[in-house]
Amino acid sequence: MSWHAFESLVSSSKVIDELKRKRNRQIKPILSEDELSVLENELLSALYTKSKIIVQYFWNGQIFSKTGFIKFLDKNGHKIVFDDNAFIYFEQVIKADFI
């Protein structure tokens, strides 16, 4: 019986964390045709020159970053595959920068 109060604290911290995540959600930035063209050129350039790149992408209401080397661009699956086999879908990408 003495642990019930502690269990309440643990479950309430999970609820608070979930509320913080929901509060910090963002709307996906919309890229213009010019921005998409520049982004595509940067991704292709990083692939062909084997340059390290930081890709910012939008997922689940938040913006994340992935750093690495592009292994290949899967045009059929619409995704970017990195050297560690992680992948990001093209429609999630919002920015790419060389390191």
Amino acid at the residue 76: N
* This prediction's pTM: 0.76
Contacts of 47 (CB under 8 A, 6+ apart): 70, 72, 73
Place of tokens 């309430």: 12
Range 2-7 average pLDDT: 53
pLDDT of residue 30: 92
pLDDT of residue 96: 94
In terms of Cβ atoms closer than 10 Å to its own Cβ (0-12, 13-18, 19+), residue 79 is: middle
Q: How confident is the model over 23-76, as pLDDT tens digits? A: 878 888 899 999 999 999 999 999 999 999 999 999 989 999 999 999 999 988
Q: Are the beta carbons of 71 and 53 closer than 8 angstroms?
A: no
Specify if 89 maps to a domain. yes
| CATH value at residue 94 | 2.30.30.100
Domain residues for 35?
27-98
Specify if 16 maps to a domain. no
In this structure, of 1-5, 19-23, 54-58, the range with the lowest mean pLDDT score is 1-5
Specify if 85 maps to a domain. yes
